[in-house]
A = this chain, B = another copy of it.
């Protein structure tokens, strides 16, 4: 539906991203034709993932464009990390209410800065007018047979997570309540605004982990996907959940586990590991300079049992982020 004459070529993506993301020898044609042309490596599978972020649903309209550019790419790279894939190419479909130069410069900076760290080339894009939202698609490589999937967890495997849980959700909770923004620890803000995709951990877990997922909707919901896909159950120990200092302080007063269990936006990896692999995790954590903690065990009995430190079952009702009512369903 096109109803206005051309006033000027307004190629936002090309203009703002030119030279911002790294050149790659496997990109024959980037932004600027009807399609990008890339050469996938032979002997590897291509992992493809897409995520949309909508203003007011996935981020606050007041978020800085730099942080948003970072996050839009980070949440997608997090999906590649969960597959054990090495990032390669991205596309960006940007819907904006109006072209805002300063905003675009900041957004491109945040996006490209993360892209450079992982050698990701932006190869295509589309800009449209409408309510602010962004759809990023990423492509990565994983050698045949080495991908991490949700479906491989086996009875007796340990359940692990990288990093800490609940910081982003706690930050959001504080932003949404009366807490003055200045009272929110910077470490929590960083975790909400600038999640770190666990790419190196995903690559290191190839041929080690039996299953993996990234925690975007909350630990319980995402671990639930592993259990469902693997047709197993699990037992989780709350006292083993890795918590940041800021979260622990808040927890000491509130006694509320829910941001760490069902808050979402963690972008850590949750994975399962056969017992034979367990000993390697300490070395791996040191090598990656990233916490890796065992939080539970895969069991045959269906369902997820969450145990409090005193051994009683945790009966909290929050199970994760509503996949449609409040946000998104990521299906690849």
Contacts and interface: CB of A to CB of B under 8 A. Distances in A.
A34 interface: yes
A167 to B, nearest CB: 13
Given A11-B331, A47-B37, A127-B328, A135 B57 contact: no
Interface string A129-161: 111010101111010100101110000000000
Nearest to A144: B39
A6 B217 contact: yes
A312 B127 CA distance: 37
A248 B50 CA distance: 43
A273 interface: no
A85 interface: yes
Contact of A323 (B1, B10, B29, B213): B10
Given A5-B319, A7-B325, A82-B34, A126 B50 contact: yes
**Assembly of this chain: how many copies?**
2
Contact of A3 (B39, B49, B320, B326): B326
A36 B49 contact: yes
A163 interface: no
A86 interface: no
A272 interface: no
A95 B54 contact: yes
A100 B11 CA distance: 34
Given A46-B40, A142-B37, A262-B5, A332 B32 contact: yes
Contacts of A296: none
Contacts of A213: 34
A99 interface: yes
Contacts of A135: 50, 52, 93, 126, 135
A40 B326 CA distance: 35
B131 A85 contact: no
Point out which of A91, A212, A320, A330 has the most chain B C-beta atoms below 10 A from its C-beta: A330
Contacts of A42: 42
Nearest to A142: B37
- Which one of A42, A140, A229 has the greatest number of beta carbons of chain B within 10 Å? A42
5 closest cross-chain pairs (CB), A and B: A124-B332, A2-B264, A10-B324, A4-B326, A54-B130
Given A28-B45, A34-B214, 14 more contacts: A1-B57, A2-B265, A5-B321, A5-B322, A6-B320, A31-B332, A38-B48, A50-B125, A52-B93, A57-B128, A93-B137, A124-B332, A128-B329, A129-B324
Interface of A: 1-14, 28-40, 42, 45-60, 79-80, 82-83, 85, 89, 91, 93, 95, 99, 123-131, 133, 135, 137-140, 142, 144, 147, 149-151, 169, 172, 176, 192, 212-214, 217-218, 221, 229, 262-265, 317-332
